[in-house]
Structure 1
Amino acid sequence: MDLPFGIDFGGTGIKGAPVDLALGDFAGDRQKIKTPKPATPKAVAKVFRELVGRFPASSAPVGVTVPGIVHGGVVWSAANIDAAWVGTDADSLFTAALQRDVHVVNDADAAGLAEVEYGAAKGRNGLVIVTTLGTGIGSAMVHDGVLVPNSELGHLEIGGRVAEKWASNVFREQDGLSWKEWAKRLTTYYRTLERLFSPDLIVVGGGVSKESDQFLPLIAIETEIVPAALQNRAGIVGAALVASRA
């Protein structure tokens, strides 16, 4: 059985695996290749070919996460990747490179869809906001299972500061914050999301979510807030889901 393939394109590594959508998990060992420097679209396409080539030949679609805004398969922003991505029709480029149907999605959106379909927000109705706390703050908004793409809620300005330049995990480390001190910043951030969107559930992902017991109980908000369940599998699983639905 041909299974969709998910690729998670990050700043340091490009990871991929076939995905069993009935289970919401990998159907083979995840493979990883270092992100090329410079990470231009053509250089990354070459890595994608190598990554997909490590698995048996398939005609199933491929989903790819990109850390940027994606509209109709075209990348509109490139804050943490090569500037050459801006304006690139990534769907067409990768479809030609891999000779398979390829669909590109914002990385946080992919993770959000995976958490709603298989993870911490499975079976939940209403508005779910999934945030990823890392170098920045990624976000996904999913209402009754339908994605509102490219929400970019980490770019909200709060008190004259861009949220992710103050409350992301990298700034916790950079500023030497204790968990309690960081939780105060996160409380300010998540209260803003509450006020603007009235979510039914907030899911917190990113690598630091593995230590969620250190800071989530200290975030003082009214909305239910829980750690992500899929952790580093979410991007690949969500990308494959997007490709399959497309």
Structure 2
Amino acid sequence: MSNADIIIGEVLGTALLILLGAGVCAAVTLKKSKAQNAGWLAIAFGWGFAVLTAAYVAAGVSGAHLNPAVTLGLAIQGGTEWADVPLYIASEMVGAMLGAFLAWVTYYGQFKVHMADLANQPGAVEGPDDAKAGPVLGIFSTGPEIRKSVQNLLTEIIGTFALVIAILTQGLNGEGNGLGTLGVLITALVVVSIGLSLGGPTGYAINPARDLGPRIVHALLPLKGKGRSDWGYAWIPVVGPLVGAAVAGGLYNIALA
């Protein structure tokens, strides 16, 4: 697998993942969206289908990691060369930021209406306020329902462990460096399951690029009244998934290889 394959597959695949994933969050959240208030089921299945679409596109090119935690787990398991890890992660971050930007472009009109309506409500404050998270940050990145760092970190570790151990134990292609055709479908269903079963406490980032890339885009976008990007929480959906993936990769080597 060449460096160009990794870059093209991971940038394109991760961009599609975030475009469709952030897209369903925008659809459920924003005013003047036909899917507003569709609920958690729509989000969980929307993210699952996003994984399905993105992984099918990238599987034959880069192995469809689409997630630094998956890349780390595969490197520990031995299916990915450690020398390729930085390129995978950098490509995933670029793709995640591109996908978040495209989701904003897609819903540009809805963002304007939504933010204008919030600004017109009694007591509204223009620009960043004192809240830890702005009113549309959840479209771009995750946040906890109960802000307890240890619990939030453990939730992300457990959710990512479930994802990565499922990937390591099935669906690897013949070279052992990513998802094969059947593995793409199974992994998408695993993501739906994690969303429905474990996603409630933190919004189940289970992917450092999925959270950090769009959070950076949120911080940079010219959205009046968007509020803060909650950088105090941002380390949890990065560290938690990496720890969960490392545990999954280590357990695979010790007990399942």
TM range (shorter): under 0.3
- Higher strand proportion (structure 1 or 2): 1
TM-score by length of 2: 0.24
TM-score by length of 1: 0.24
